[in-house]
Amino acid sequence: MFGISDFGIWLVYLLCIASALLCLIYGIINWNKGGNDENELKKDAMWEAEDSKIEENI
């Protein structure tokens, strides 16, 4: 079929299609999960405040 008689080539095509489908399924499942929670945002704000103080002292 398609002039490709080697099993290895068919396997590569199959694995490429399978990996694309798995990535798509993974993306759909994890679409709206996670993100920044309040603790991470507070830590980031504290880090920014500390960084600003250090830069002012320089």
Residues comprising the chain, all counted: 58
Domain residue ranges of the chain, discontinuous segments joined by + = 7-57
Q: What is the pLDDT of residue 55?
A: 84
Q: What is the mean pLDDT of residues 30-49?
A: 81
Residue 54 confidence (pLDDT) above 90: no
0.75 exceeded by pTM: no
- Give the count of beta carbons closer than 10 Å to the beta carbon of residue 10: 13
Residue 30 pLDDT grade (very low, low, confident, very high; cuts 50, 70, 90): confident
Among 6, 26, 7, 29, CA closest to 18: 26
Residue 49 pLDDT grade (very low, low, confident, very high; cuts 50, 70, 90): confident
